[in-house]
Chain A
Amino acid sequence: MNYRPLFFVLFILAFSACKTKNHLHKIEGKQINVSDSIAADQRIEAFIKPYRERVEKDLDSVLAYSVATLSKSDGEYNTAIGNMMADAVYEEVNPVFQKRTGKSIDFVLLNHGGIRAIISKGEITTRTAFEVMPFENSIFVAELKGDQIKELIDYLVIEKRAHPISQLKIVLNADGSLKETSSKEKPLNYTKSYFVATNDYLLSGGDRMNFFKVNDSVYDLNYKVRNVLLDYFKKTDTLRPRIDDRFIKIK
């Protein structure tokens, strides 16, 4: 502090009449990680608290009941949780699609990786829907031509993964080759177009489902996958989805 008067004197002496322009002479850039080593601001924390409590309470509101724990790893070619999700998409979205376009969804294809959590046996809450589907993906219906439908089936046959499907049936021979396919009880016809409901992730080629990339027409249903689940849970008192024969390999 002793130096202070001296600097004032220096500054006054140094004062000159010439016009000064601000010259940018140095830039330093970095990023700081917001980690748990930084203490939370208590005023902010207190402000958030009532909002958080209301959300938490609502997320814990019970919508339905599951008779079993459902996991996407239980099942080889189809799973109970995947079947439930794809069926929920068909059931909830098809009426919206029909109303808007006068057409019907032929079948549903989602991705196995899109099931983000298990559903535990017991009460199903709003939180369950947020856990199973934390992302904001929404449902689209794409009109796929016959050759794309063939690509889609080839993809599923090669993948041998329980990608959730609804209103579609695939039977594999014991050697893994394709035996038969059908949609709504009718064999797939590769000269025909089909309306396939999926999510925006797959529509843009996610999981290498490239057959979705080129399509005649795409309908944005403006219906989030999570909301499909929430609406489905609200309607359903007790959830008892099963592994069935929609995608199987003959032994």
Chain B
Amino acid sequence: MKRRDFIHQTSAASALIGLGGFGLSSFSSATKKITILHTNDVHSHIDPFGPEDGRNPNQGGVARRASLIESIRAENPNTLLMDAGDIFQGTPYFNYYGGELEFKLMSMLKYDVATIGNHDFDNGIDGLYAQLPHAKFDFVSSNYDFSNTIMDSHVKPYRIIEKDGIKVGVFGLGIELYGLVDENMYKETKYLDPIETTQEMTRILKQQEHCDLVICLSHLGYKYSRLPEKISDLSLAEKTKDIDLIIGGHTHTFLKKPTIIKNAEGKNTLVNQVGCYGINLGKIDFYFDANKNKSAEGTSIIV
């Protein structure tokens, strides 16, 4: 029997027993694994870069990403797929179809949730709204107040997804639009303070809803060396608590590996971003142990 089969079957067995808890201390059998896959700033890059491309030859492509995601899901059905915004703008596909194809393909790839980037307003808030029927996934944004816009009620502040008995809370943060996007485009979208919003979101998701995992889909940008006071994923991670993972975007930052940041409570928060244009897929595996004896131990992070 292969090891993978062993884990599959035992976790199925534990599900059968019914979450009551059991005292098996020496078995890894009660381990649950949640895989988070993520992209950001794909910018309408549907086709791969050609072999002649000066920067990214033969990289990316939605059809390849689909195969990759499919193989990861086959290995672990408890997989969630997310995007951190700037889905739109960057190839003629956007100029011709206004984002329809991007949303349709993300739906076919079974994205679960996405947040909104500044370029997603490039055809105006009406242009974004017009493409929503093509998106069979949810948008989360907790610091854009859309109540005076056409997007009202079409974007949730957060979403809770349960996989294999693990509650995953996902909320979204967008970048300040003033000065970045033409006001005629975002209209009466109100930008709320990301830190205050995060405190509210983590209170709901952690204290109230008891989520096992809290993920922030952020389009704030990784960091701003020249503007240290400008809010970024790294400063957000430092100044808040109860976030396990920040999936970032906006700055098109290619990281060799996820960054580990000590949060306001001195606990570890992971910040990741995978560059842009669908060149990379981020993959973060969270392993949960239902074993009570181990719960006093910390979390090991392998990046």
Residues of A that sit less than 8 Å from B by CB: 1-4, 7-8, 10-12, 14-36, 38-45, 47-48, 51-52, 54-55, 58-59, 130, 136, 220, 222
Tell whether, in the assembled complex, residue B281 and residue A11 are in contact, meaning their CB atoms are under 8 Å apart.
no
Tell whether, in the assembled complex, residue A38 and residue B272 are in contact, meaning their CB atoms are under 8 Å apart.
no
Partner of A38, one of B22, B64, B105, B290: B64
CB-defined contacts of A18 to chain B, threshold 8 Å: 21, 23, 292
Q: How far is the CA of A7 from the CA of B284 in the complex (A)?
A: 29
Interface SS of chain A = mixed
Q: How far is the CA of A15 from the CA of B24 in the complex (A)?
A: 8
For residue B63, give the distance in angstroms from its CB to the closest CB of chain A.
4
Q: How far is the CA of A26 from the CA of B291 in the complex (A)?
A: 13
Tell whether, in the assembled complex, residue A23 and residue B291 are in contact, meaning their CB atoms are under 8 Å apart.
yes
Q: How far is the CA of A52 from the CA of B24 in the complex (A)?
A: 55
Which of B88-96, B132-140, B194-202 forms part of the interface with chain A?
A: B88-96
* With A20-B290, A23-B294, A44-B108 as contacts: A34 and B59 at CB distance below 8 Å: yes
Tell whether, in the assembled complex, residue B257 and residue A12 are in contact, meaning their CB atoms are under 8 Å apart.
no
| B residues contacting the other copy or chain, number (CB 8 A) | 81
Q: How far is the CA of A111 from the CA of B302 in the complex (A)?
A: 45
Tell whether, in the assembled complex, residue A25 and residue B303 are in contact, meaning their CB atoms are under 8 Å apart.
no
Known A-B contacts: A25-B297, A30-B283, A33-B280. Give 16 more (CB < 8 A): A11-B14, A12-B17, A23-B290, A23-B294, A26-B287, A26-B302, A27-B299, A29-B302, A34-B280, A41-B63, A41-B67, A47-B104, A47-B105, A55-B96, A130-B92, A220-B182
B61 in contact (CB, < 8 A): yes
Q: Tell me which residues from 53 to 73 in chain B have a Cβ below 8 Å from any Cβ of chain A.
A: 58-68, 70
Partner of A27, one of B19, B166, B301: B301
Q: Which 3 A-B pairs have the closest CB atoms?
A: A20-B21, A40-B63, A41-B66
Q: Give A136's nearest chain B residue, CB to CB.
A: B89
Tell whether, in the assembled complex, residue B108 and residue A28 are in contact, meaning their CB atoms are under 8 Å apart.
no
Tell whether, in the assembled complex, residue B258 and residue A3 are in contact, meaning their CB atoms are under 8 Å apart.
no
B46 in contact (CB, < 8 A): yes
Tell whether, in the assembled complex, residue A20 and residue B292 are in contact, meaning their CB atoms are under 8 Å apart.
yes
Q: How far is the CA of A48 from the CA of B48 in the complex (A)?
A: 12
Q: How far is the CA of A40 from the CA of B70 in the complex (A)?
A: 11
Tell whether, in the assembled complex, residue A31 and residue B274 are in contact, meaning their CB atoms are under 8 Å apart.
yes
B1 in contact (CB, < 8 A): yes
Partner of B97, one of A1, A31, A51: A51
Q: Tell me which residues from 256 to 303 in chain B have a Cβ below 8 Å from any Cβ of chain A.
A: 257-258, 270, 272, 274, 278-292, 294-295, 297, 299-303
* With A40-B64, A47-B108 as contacts: A11 and B32 at CB distance below 8 Å: no
Q: How far is the CA of A51 from the CA of B62 in the complex (A)?
A: 14
* With A20-B21, A22-B166, A22-B212 as contacts: A29 and B64 at CB distance below 8 Å: no
For residue A224, give the distance in angstroms from its CB to the closest CB of chain B.
9
Tell whether, in the assembled complex, residue A39 and residue B1 are in contact, meaning their CB atoms are under 8 Å apart.
no
Q: Give A227's nearest chain B residue, CB to CB.
A: B95
Tell whether, in the assembled complex, residue A58 and residue B96 are in contact, meaning their CB atoms are under 8 Å apart.
yes
Q: How far is the CA of A33 from the CA of B212 in the complex (A)?
A: 29
